[in-house]
């Protein structure tokens, strides 16, 4: 951390002053994003986690709007908040996991995880401090709109686009296959642990 601070001191505004000139909406949004994402990982109740995550996605969509990526903002809401998270919620409900069933991990594990994640954060920020250069601002009107995106997607990225279709197909088939109940599907679990009900 000391290294980080010293790096900051070298390369511009320090950690506190860098927030001073920011627009209020951005600050509020960011604050909410971080808060809700923290709740996602710390909440003991999975349902709360899902709900917090959906909220996070909403805030991120708001960021997209701020960034003039309107199409993405909408898609994010539809796909993530709408589809994926509902899927999560649905599975939770289906398995009746709303209670706090998760085994508690020991403290040292939490500390280890925090240290590891923290050091990752530190390193990535430090990396930016060391190598980051001011990106030339080159805003182009309307690249976040469907029209512009569609043009790029169906010209330069048409092959990957088609490939994602295949990926979806595969995922769909896989999901269906996995979901199918089989007679003898306890292969994963040794008998003596008696997992099969």
Partner 1 sequence: MNLLSIFNQVEISHYIYLSTVLFSIGLFGVLFRRNAIILLMCIELMLNAVNLLFTAFSTYMGDADGQIFVFFIMVVAAAEAAVGLAILVLVYRNTRKTDVSFLDQLKG
Partner 2 sequence: MLTLMIFLPLIGFLINGLVGRFLPKNVSGWLGTAAVLGSFILAVMNFNALTAEAGQLESIHQKLFTFLHVGSLHVDFAFQFDRLSAVMTLIITGIGTLIHMYSIAYMHEDDGLYKFFAYLNLFIFNMLVLVLGSNYMMLFFGWEGVGLCSYLLIGFWYKNVDFGKAARKAFVMNRIGDLGLLLGLFLIYSTYGTFEYQDLFSRVFTGTDASSNVNTAIALLLFIGAMGKSAQIPLYTWLPDAMAGPTPVSALIHAATMVTAGIYLVIRSEAIYALSPFANEIVMWIGLSTSILAALIGLKQNDIKKVLAYSTVSQLGLMFIALGCGAYTAALFHVITHAFFKALLFLGSGSVIHGMHHEQDIRQMGGLRKKMPITYLTFLIGTLAITGFPFLSGFFSKDEILMSAFAHNKLVFGLALMSAGITGFYMFRMFFVTFHGTYRNHHHAYEKVHESPLLMTLPLLVLAVLSVIGGAVNLPHYLGEGISGGLHHLLSFDGGGQFSPILIYPEHAIELSHTAEIALLAMAVSVFVIAFLYTRNKYVVKGSVPEADADQQGMGKVLANKFYVDEAYDMAFVAPLESASDVITEYVDEKALKSAVDGVGTGGYGLSKLLSKIQNGNIEYYLLYMVIGISLLLAFNLF
**Of residues 75-114, those binding partner 2 (CB under 8 A):** 109, 112-113
Residue pair 63/57 in contact (Cβ under 8 Å)? The answer is no
Q: Which stretch binds partner 2 (CB under 8 A): 63-71, 79-87, 117-125, 150-158?
A: 117-125
With binding defined as CB under 8 A, does residue 98 bind partner 1? no
Q: Does 113 bind partner 1 (CB under 8 A)?
A: yes
Instruction: Report the nearest approach of partner 1 to the CB of residue 2 (Å).
Output: 18
d(CA 197, CA 183): 12
Q: Minimum CB separation from partner 2 for residue 166, in Å?
A: 28
Distance CA 63, CA 60 (A): 5
Can residue 185 be called a binding residue for partner 1 (CB under 8 A)?
A: yes
Q: Find the helix packing angle between 85-95 and 46-66, rounded to 10°.
A: 180
Query: Which one of partner 1, partner 2, none is in contact with 74 (Cβ closer than 5 to 8 A by kind)?
Result: none
Largest alpha-carbon pair distance within the chain? 65
- Residue 126: contacted member of partner 2, partner 1, none (CB under 5 to 8 Å, by partner type): partner 2
Which tokens is 177 given? 């296959």
Q: Is 157 in the site for partner 1 (CB under 8 A)?
A: yes
Q: How many residues bind partner 2 (CB under 8 A)?
A: 13
Q: List residues near partner 2 by CB under 8 A.
A: 109, 112-113, 116-117, 119-120, 123-124, 126-127, 130-131
């Amino acid at each position: 951390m000391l290294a980080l601070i010293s790096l900051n001191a070298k390369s511009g505004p320090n950690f506190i002053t860098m927030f001073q000139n920011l627009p209020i909406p951005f600050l509020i949004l960011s604050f909410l994003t971080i808060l809700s994402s923290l709740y996602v990982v710390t909440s003991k109740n999975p349902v709360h986690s899902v709900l917090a995550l959906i909220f996070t996605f909403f805030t991120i969509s708001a960021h997209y709007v701020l960034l003039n990526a309107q199409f993405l903002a909408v898609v994010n809401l539809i796909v993530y908040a709408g589809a994926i998270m509902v899927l999560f919620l649905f599975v939770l409900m289906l398995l009746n996991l709303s209670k706090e069933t998760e085994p508690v991990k020991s403290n040292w594990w939490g500390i280890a995880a925090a240290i590891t994640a923290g050091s990752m954060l530190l390193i990535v920020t430090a990396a930016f401090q060391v190598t980051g250069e001011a990106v030339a601002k080159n805003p182009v009107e309307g690249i976040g709109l469907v029209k512009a995106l569609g043009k790029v997607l169906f010209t330069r990225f048409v092959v990957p686009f088609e490939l994602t279709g295949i990926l979806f197909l595969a995922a769909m088939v896989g999901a269906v296959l996995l979901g199918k109940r089989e007679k003898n599907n306890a292969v994963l679990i040794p008998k003596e642990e008696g997992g099969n009900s």
